[in-house]
């Protein structure tokens, strides 16, 4: 690697990094972009790693961008070369191959699986995370080399459910354990979660809520059972720990860059050190709905933050972004979409719900004042994005409230001004 | 311009041909929906498609109606398309030739992230097939069928 100062240095090679590279190249066709990635893989989609457990998987299905992506975007890529140390004052990142001085830097180093210190046996053979390529490949080879008939997945969030699905599809008996009183507790309310639980159980997965793992039994260093807080002991040959992801802010720790739970960024995704940006699961920005500073580790947010950071790094003006929680999760065939404060209730909150007669679909719209702040769809997710738009743009829906959960609701019901904002110039003439 | 290759580029700013709906001219006849359905059907025959494939095919255009007000709505092919940003597979991308936002169905995983972020509700879950369904500006046609078949010029296809 040459030692001259690179115009753009990107640490990371996932959603946020890709968003940044594409944004930089829209504004600057020629400035050097160097990209360092700890993982050796071509940019892949993390949400698609369950595919790696499918028989005869075509590995190219996981490519988030075509194979010629780096070349087409003029990226000097170094896959499998980790950034080991960062000196913001020297404006230099060190790798095992030497220093990389930079003009601007994007930290897009993602998250790391949360490992609860109080749970014993996490280092045993047969205990896995499920957030990256290697996790899935390691699980696959464990399944192929040893006879695993039972597995325990700890954590009933998105990642745990995807792990349970992938294992169940291979015919393994799976027990899913969730500490909260319901699955997907952050995304679904009690009603929605009951529908998800029914889908999980219908697929033959044992679901245990309200308890968690205290210890993994591993005589001889190999996981053989998971002991639960409620006293139960679940024999198994494989354990997936999926109780959450924390920002991987190690590079910034101990530097001038402000780190709280994640690397703290402003609305331009710039850190406390000028010219150094952070985006994606590693970053901690402002939640547009609550005003709280917190990581929002979801796919679209990573891409948008990457776009914002890349735009700023290249000297452009980013479009105002509104970051808030949103998840589209299919639970054993049951589609769900949860946006904003979808589970909120209590004082100052108005909740509208609707479900169809067969009990196969359920909607929950959460309002504060005359504005939608949360929306939940289970079973039927068609046109859910209209509500995402209402939340993002803080649209006054006072006049159409009674229609919000009905099939008659659509763009036509919205204030004409908003409708124009969405489509005029590119669409409807009034 | 370099750097826009490789697919997946979320930005397609600049003038290009777009479908424009004229609310005042729309009579709510829904012929645009039918023509889109036929274009996407196996049979490509209006009666067969309407009778047998209506439940399997999701048209890329939708007429909204309330009293005497109606308009036809399809994908705006946004310059800064949120569906491309949110796509977890890279299936949703901008066609370099037409500027249209299109879904590569062979890559789509049916996660509905695109449905979640489309504020106009124009990306819709497929009915029979688990892939996102949306307007593709009738790739390869001189004139999109919804525009060509509109009896009252309530849909126009023009450079904007």
Q: What's the pLDDT tens digit per position in A359-417? A: 899 999 999 999 999 999 999 999 999 999 999 999 999 999 999 999 889 888 888 77
Question: What is the C-alpha separation between A107 and B143, in angstroms, rounded?
Answer: 45
Ranges of residues in chain B with a pLDDT under 70 are 1-14
SS3 A4: coil
Q: Which of B111, B115, B123 sits opposite A47 (nearest CB)?
A: B111
Structure tokens at B1: 């311009």
pLDDT at A328 over 90: yes
Check residue A1 and give its pLDDT.
55
Residues A265-278, mean pLDDT to the nearest whole number: 98
Check residue B11 and give its pLDDT.
53
Count other Cβ atoms within 10 Å, centred on residue A26. Answer: 20
pLDDT at A352 over 90: yes
Question: What is the C-alpha separation between A266 and A256, in angstroms, rounded?
Answer: 15
pLDDT at A321 over 90: no
Higher pLDDT, B52 or A16: A16
Q: Which of B66, B85, B125 sits opposite A412 (nearest CB)?
A: B66
First to last CA, chain A: 58
Indicate the pLDDT class of residue A428, thresholds 50, 70 and 90. very low
Q: Give strand pairing partners of A217.
A: A225
A299 vs B contacts (CB less than 8 Å): 86, 88, 113
pLDDT at A88 over 80: yes
Q: Give strand pairing partners of B17.
A: B159
Residues A77-89, mean pLDDT to the nearest whole number: 98
Question: What is the C-alpha separation between A158 and A161, in angstroms, rounded?
Answer: 5
Check residue B13 and give its pLDDT.
63
Domains of chain A: 6-111+246-313 (3.50.50.60), 127-243 (3.50.50.60), 333-423 (3.30.390.30)
Best B58, B63, B84, B112 residue to mutate vs chain A (most A CBs within 10 Å): B112
State whether residue A60 sits within 8 Å of chain B by CB: no
pLDDT at A322 over 90: no
Question: What is the C-alpha separation between A413 and A398, in angstroms, rounded?
Answer: 11
Domains of chain B: 17-159 (3.30.70.20)
Best A17, A18, A385 residue to mutate vs chain B (most B CBs within 10 Å): A385
Question: What is the C-alpha separation between A137 and A150, in angstroms, rounded?
Answer: 18
Predicted model pTM: 0.94
Strands A85-87 and A92-95: antiparallel
B119 vs A contacts (CB less than 8 Å): 385-386, 388-390, 392-393, 422
Residues A146-168, mean pLDDT to the nearest whole number: 97
Which pLDDT tens digit goes with each residue over A36-60?
999 999 999 999 999 999 989 999 9
Please give the backbone phi and psi of residue B40, each rounded to the nearest 5 degrees, phi first: -90, -5
Check residue A425 and give its pLDDT.
45
Which pLDDT tens digit goes with each residue over A201-213?
999 999 999 999 9
Check residue B68 and give its pLDDT.
83
């Amino acid at each position: 690697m040459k030692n001259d100062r690179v115009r753009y240095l990107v640490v990371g090679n996932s959603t946020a990094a890709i968003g940044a590279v594409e944004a930089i190249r829209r504004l600057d066709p020629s400035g050097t972009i160097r990209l360092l990635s700890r993982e050796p893989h071509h940019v892949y989609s993390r949400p698609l790693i369950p595919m790696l457990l499918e028989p005869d998987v075509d590995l190219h299905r996981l490519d988030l961008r075509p194979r010629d992506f780096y070349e087409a975007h003029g990226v000097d890529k170094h896959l499998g070369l980790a950034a080991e140390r960062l000196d913001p004052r020297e404006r230099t990142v060190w790798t095992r191959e030497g220093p990389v001085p930079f003009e601007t830097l994007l930290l897009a180093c993602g998250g790391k699986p949360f490992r609860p210190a109080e749970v014993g046996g996490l280092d045993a053979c047969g205990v896995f995370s499920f957030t990256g390529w290697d996790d899935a490949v390691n699980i696959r080879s464990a399944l192929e080399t040893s006879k695993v008939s039972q597995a325990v997945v700890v954590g009933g969030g998105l990642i745990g459910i995807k792990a349970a699905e992938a294992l169940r599809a291979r015919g393994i008996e799976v027990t899913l354990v969730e500490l909260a009183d319901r699955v997907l507790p952050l995304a679904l309310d009690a009603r929605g979660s009951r529908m998800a639980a029914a889908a999980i159980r219908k697929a033959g997965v044992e679901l245990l809520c309200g308890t968690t793992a205290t210890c993994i039994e591993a005589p001889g260093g190999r996981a053989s059972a998971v002991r639960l807080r409620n006293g139960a002991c679940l024999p198994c040959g494989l354990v997936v720990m999926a109780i959450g992801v924390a920002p991987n802010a190690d590079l910034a720790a101990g530097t001038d860059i402000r780190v709280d739970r994640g690397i703290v960024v402003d609305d331009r995704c710039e850190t406390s050190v000028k010219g150094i940006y952070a985006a994606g699961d590693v970053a901690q920005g402002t939640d547009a709905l609550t005003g709280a500073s917190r990581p929002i580790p979801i796919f679209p947010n990573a891409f948008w933050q990457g776009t914002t950071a890349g735009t700023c790094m290249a000297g452009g003006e980013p479009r105002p972004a509104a970051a808030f929680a949103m998840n589209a999760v299919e639970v054993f065939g049951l589609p769900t979409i949860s946006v904003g404060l979808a589970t909120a209730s209590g004082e100052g909150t108005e909740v509208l719900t609707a479900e169809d007669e067969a009990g196969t679909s359920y909607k929950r719209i959460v309002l504060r004042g005359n504005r939608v702040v949360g929306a939940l769809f289970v079973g039927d997710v068609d046109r859910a994005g209209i509500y995402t738009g209402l939340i993002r743009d803080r649209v006054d829906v006072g006049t159409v409230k009674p229609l919000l959960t009905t099939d008659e609701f659509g763009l036509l019901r919205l204030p004409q001004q908003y409708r124009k904002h969405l489509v005029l110039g590119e669409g409807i003439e009034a | 311009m370099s750097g826009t290759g490789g697919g997946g580029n979320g930005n397609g700013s600049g003038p290009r041909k777009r479908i424009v709906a004229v609310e005042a001219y729309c009579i709510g006849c829904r012929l645009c929906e039918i023509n889109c359905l036929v274009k996407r059907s196996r049979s490509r025959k209006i009666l067969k498609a309407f009778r047998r494939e209506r439940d399997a095919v999701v048209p890329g255009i939708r007429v909204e109606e309330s009293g005497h007000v109606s308009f036809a709505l399809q994908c705006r092919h946004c310059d800064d398309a949120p569906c491309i940003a949110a796509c977890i597979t890279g299936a949703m991308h901008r066609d370099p030739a037409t500027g249209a936002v299109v879904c590569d169905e062979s890559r789509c995983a049916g996660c509905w992230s695109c449905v979640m972020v489309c504020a106009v509700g124009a990306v819709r879950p497929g009915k029979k097939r688990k892939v996102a369904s949306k307007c593709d500006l009738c790739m390869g046609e001189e004139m999109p069928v919804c525009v060509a078949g509109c009896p009252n010029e309530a849909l126009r296809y023009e450079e904007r």
